[in-house]
Amino acid sequence: MQYKIAIVGEKDTVYAFGMLGMNVFYTTDAKQGRQVVKDIIKDDYGVIFITENLAQQIPDIIKKYDDEFMPAFILIPSDYDSESIGLQRVQENVQKAVGQNIL
């Protein structure tokens, strides 16, 4: 089975990713973002790139899939404010995988 790649977030941040072949989903608020992410999960997406801003607004959904194989949530910085949450998640996952933070 082939899985799809999605990117979800504010239009200014995610617009250009459509040129890379990703399915782009724009959100304007947490309620809409929550529904879009739930719909994407049901539709065989293996990787979901999500802006840090949106991820902070729907942490329960992200957390629910942290220990699952799929979908994999990858946080990307927003155009507005970035708090390096995505980098922090990568460091935590690397530490889980190899036993120490090598980044």
Distance CA 37, CA 32 (A): 9
pLDDT bucket at 68, cuts 50 / 70 / 90: confident
- pLDDT score of 1: 73
Tens-digit pLDDT profile for residues 13-44: 899 988 888 899 999 999 999 999 999 999 98
Instruction: State how far the Cα of 86 lies from the Cα of 73, in Å rounded to an integer.
Output: 10
List the domains of the chain with CATH numbers.
Answer: 4-98 (3.40.50.10580)
d(CA 81, CA 56) in angstroms, rounded, equals 12
- How many whole angstroms separate alpha carbon 2 and alpha carbon 55? 25
pLDDT value, residue 80: 65
User: Is the pLDDT reported for residue 93 higher than 80?
Assistant: no
Q: Which of 73, 86, 78 is nearest to 13 (CA)?
A: 78
Q: What is the pLDDT of residue 21?
A: 85
DSSP state, residue 24: E
Alpha carbon of residue 58 to chain centroid: 11
Q: What is the pLDDT of residue 94?
A: 55
Q: For residue 82, is pLDDT > 80?
A: no
